[in-house]
Chains A and B, each alone.
Chain A
Amino acid sequence: MASQLSGPLRSLLTAMNLGRNTNHPLGGWQVLMILYRDGSTTGEPMTIRYLVDHYNSDYLEPGEPLIDDDVLRPIVKVLVEQAHLVAESTRKVRERMNSGKFHVIQSSVYRINAAGIEYLKAMQRVIDAENTVVASTKRITEYCQLVKTFQQYDSMSTTDMQLYEDFNRMLSAYDEVTQGLRKLDVDLHDISTDLAFDRLGDASLHLQTMLHEQAIPAYTQMIKQAALLRWLSLQEGFGEAVAISRQAKGNLDVAVAIGDESALESEREKTKAFVQRRLASMIQSFDPSTSAIQTSFDSIYLLYQTLNDASQLLAREYEHVRRQKIDLRALTDDIDQLITKASRLTVPHALPLHLPMDRLSRAEMAAVESLPRDQRADKMADLTSSVRADMLEAGTMEPVTRPVTEAVRNTVTAADNPEAAVDGDLAADEQAAIQEFAALTMTSRRVVDITHDLEFTTQLARDAVVALYPATQYVDPAGFGVFGRSVEEAAVTTDQPIQLHLQGELFAVTLPHGFRVTFQKEG
């Protein structure tokens, strides 16, 4: 009995790909269906073998390849370990042999758990959401009522399940209301967008009614309950009371029936935690701080933004409608009539530019100009207060003096050129430098010996000696050289500093020691 999946459900499930198998996108879903449908009724244990058999016989899609153990195992593993929709337990299972004898093996048996059942139902609801989620805020009154009654929770009895059921009812009412507000949010947004683009006449009316009669009252009511809810979440005893009430008379749970205290205790703890959790998340959606609004799943203040935008849009719309009341047709006719009488119409020229205010001294004008534009008029009025009386007898005032500055034209001549530096002539210098170097420092064709202060006439020779000195500090001086000859050996000889002076310079180079350098053999 293969399940008939409707088109939308099929595409949703294919997109979700529960089980993570690319060849069998609906694999996980089908396994859940098998466990759900056949799990309780059949006597057989639901092993992998069972699942494979049933899958291949009833649940294959057209065009889907046959499934076997190895393919199904990872799917089921995902369902068990990651999705926690299926519970696994090992049981001793009796297998029947061909000969009729039974053989007991230990194998995994699978059972769908509560989350799995909820998942199946939820997917169905997703498909039908268009029809079920109504922007109805009718359950608001019920919600508000329940929050109010819970204010006196300690006087409510915990001997029956009333408290627990009421709490659940409050939760579901809250969920429906927030869903309704969400849908309202979306609808408002849609109408606002329509309005912004199309300016339909009715849309603005609808928007106004929705805003005033539904959205804003619902919104204000919800906000009012926030304080009561917060008080409730701070009550330690409330979670306890709900937990006890859950296990009171009327509960069909097997643990209650057999009085299994340890199971009951753990269930009570779980319920308390559940109550706290739900209340905390409800509170968070009423928290007005920006961080809470951004992180909360369902902040009510997100709706506020839409309400605000919608009201502003309505205001603008009103302005626009008011403005459109000018009849362009009539105005055009008027203009046409006026054009025929153009010669009799008086349209004055623009006002002429008056003379500038020049009765203030230079310092005063500077003071005015130093201020930002909008403060200048005040300042000027201030400064003129003394002069104003005089201005009414301007015949006795001095004339406004304007100094004329001659415009000097700057002509540039060749004399204005900057001094060009004189380049040294390197090529001719080198010959002279080599000769000087050889004469002053070299004791043989290959050896340079610096033992006393030297006076140079060519710069290159002096630079060469200075360049050779560092060779004495390195183990391998082959990288050093002057005038094209590289160094083979270099050693420090004397201890006294050596001064090298170039004629014409104010300063001299001081080397810390004298030294000897041997050039490499030529050739």
Chain B
Amino acid sequence: MAELEKAHRLAINQLLDHAIFTGSIDQGMRQSERKSREVYQSPSGRQRIQGWFSRLFGEAPTGFRDNWLWLMGPEKLPATHVTVLLATLKAVINTPAAQGIEADRVIEARPVIAAVHSAVPELGERKIRKIIDSLFVERFKLLTPDNPEVAEEKNSTVQEYWDVAEDFVSAAQLLVSALKTGLKPNLESATPLQQVNRYLLKHRYLDQTQPQLWATLKANKVAVADMWAPLQRFYLEVGDDYALLLDGARRQLQSRQYFVALAVARSLGAGVPDADLGQRIKMLSRQLYSEAVVNQTQVKEEIENNSLAQEKNGFWIATPVAKRFAITLGDSDGK
């Protein structure tokens, strides 16, 4: 398996986390980021990175002028979100200030949101703003919120702006081309191993509810683990009835809600009706933390975010992942 160097890994992680890898070098970039851009532009580096993606998933990133896009994930966005995405692209590329000719690329948020609202009238402006933030600010990192410097602490209206990334137009071109090719019914089939990898990446765990994938994985455990090894980020763990990728970039959660969620999940047994879940949470949180207050909705959130339990037909059942954990009542430095 070909070794991946730090610059390659940085580019791959950027594509996995943010879907878009921009090509131009900014003043504020760290040395490692600059290096990874240079490497991606060189033919050998590009081959290495594209090769890794094709080998693992059967789908390589698409590029346009040193910018790269790789879209993969569970389920698809609803149509309204897609419309917001497209309308925002249109609004931003047609804002003259985004061209960066006279000044730096800073645009006002309000006109863009208004333009998007006219394309998607059924959503409120606040909701539109949230969607744009989740897509462009957090996911693609093409916009950064900014505010003008205020000298005095007067009660002035907060004006919101966005810094537009230098490669916004190229990224927009990439997204549009990718969406257009997505329309065409030309699906290359992926090999079984590639399907396994895709599933492992798109979901938190793989269990016997996917019998074919499960069988393939069981038969090729070592091969799959070796495919992921060069990235030095995801480590394959295969248990008796589950398999998952552990993310080396994340650290263990420490919050009270998480611990309560773990306890709840492990106590679910044959299944708990939906209406009783709240009771169960309250009971266990009192057991674990007699003094502190634990928020129920947050606990539910933790259960969902960590795939500890699932709701099926009105009953909550623990997933195989929950069995991975054990809770001990220890002191703070229990080794």
Contact = CB atoms under 8 A, between A and B. Distances in A.
A441 interface: no
B6 A374 contact: yes
A265 interface: no
B330 A392 contact: no
B196 interface: no
B137 interface: no
B237 A394 contact: yes
B76 interface: yes
A403 interface: yes
Contact of A348 (B75, B238, B251): B75
A23 to B, nearest CB: 51
B291 A408 contact: yes
Interface stretch (A248-256, A271-279, A352-360): A352-360
Interface stretch (A47-55, A106-114, A376-384, A496-504): A376-384
- Determine the main DSSP class of B at the interface with A: mixed
A521 interface: no
B101 interface: yes
B44 interface: no
B110 interface: no
Contact of B182 (A332, A346, A405): A346
B335 interface: yes
A345 interface: yes
Contacts of A335: 86-87, 89-90, 172, 176
Interface in A190-213: 199
B107 to A, nearest CB: 15
Contacts of B259: 402, 404
Contact of B17 (A339, A345, A351, A374): A351
Interface string B148-186: 000000000000000000000110110010011011000
B123 interface: no
Q: Which of A359, A384, A403, A404 has the most CB of B within 10 A?
A: A404
Given A335-B176, A356-B253, A349 B238 contact: no
A400 B326 contact: yes
Contact of A380 (B85, B232, B330): B232
Contacts of B77: 347-349
Interface stretch (B45-53, B207-215, B241-249, B272-280): B241-249
Contacts of B288: 404, 406
A343 interface: yes
Contacts of A121: none
A387 to B, nearest CB: 8
A323 B65 contact: yes
Contact of A351 (B16, B82, B221, B240): B16
Interface string B52-84: 000000000000010000011111110111110
Contact of B327 (A352, A354, A398, A402): A402
A409 B292 CA distance: 8
A445 interface: no
Nearest to A347: B77
A334 B178 CA distance: 12
Contact of A328 (B169, B180, B202, B323): B169
Interface residues of A, number: 56
Contacts of A103: none
Nearest to A354: B247
Interface string B224-264: 01000100111111111100111111111100100100100
A368 to B, nearest CB: 9
B202 to A, nearest CB: 7
A351 B238 contact: no
B72 A351 contact: yes
A331 B236 CA distance: 42
B328 A401 contact: yes
A348 B71 contact: yes
B170 A377 contact: no
Given A339-B119, A349-B77, A377-B232, A401 B72 contact: no
A354 B86 contact: no
B238 A392 contact: yes
Interface in A266-284: none
Q: Which of A353, A355, A388, A408 has the most CB of B within 10 A?
A: A355
Contacts of A357: 235, 246-248, 250
A7 to B, nearest CB: 39
Nearest to B73: A348
A332 B325 contact: no
Given A377-B9, A405-B332, A347 B82 contact: yes
A345 B183 contact: yes
A354 B232 contact: no
B183 A400 contact: no
A391 B234 CA distance: 12
Contacts of B205: 355
Given A348-B74, A401-B328, 15 more contacts: A331-B93, A331-B173, A335-B89, A338-B176, A342-B83, A346-B182, A359-B237, A388-B225, A402-B327, A403-B329, A403-B331, A404-B328, A404-B330, A405-B331, A409-B292
Of all A-B residue pairs in the complex, the 9 with the closest CB atoms, nearest first, are: A348-B73, A403-B330, A395-B240, A356-B250, A403-B334, A394-B239, A354-B247, A399-B326, A357-B246
Interface of B: 6, 9, 16-17, 19, 32, 65, 71-77, 79-83, 85-87, 89-90, 93-94, 101, 119, 139, 169-170, 172-173, 176, 179-180, 182-183, 201-205, 221-222, 225, 229, 232-241, 244-253, 256, 259, 262, 288-292, 305-307, 321, 323-332, 334-335
25 contacts: A323-B169, A332-B94, A339-B83, A342-B86, A345-B183, A347-B82, A348-B73, A349-B73, A351-B16, A351-B202, A352-B204, A353-B247, A356-B246, A359-B237, A391-B246, A392-B225, A394-B237, A402-B252, A402-B327, A402-B328, A403-B328, A404-B288, A404-B329, A406-B289, A406-B290
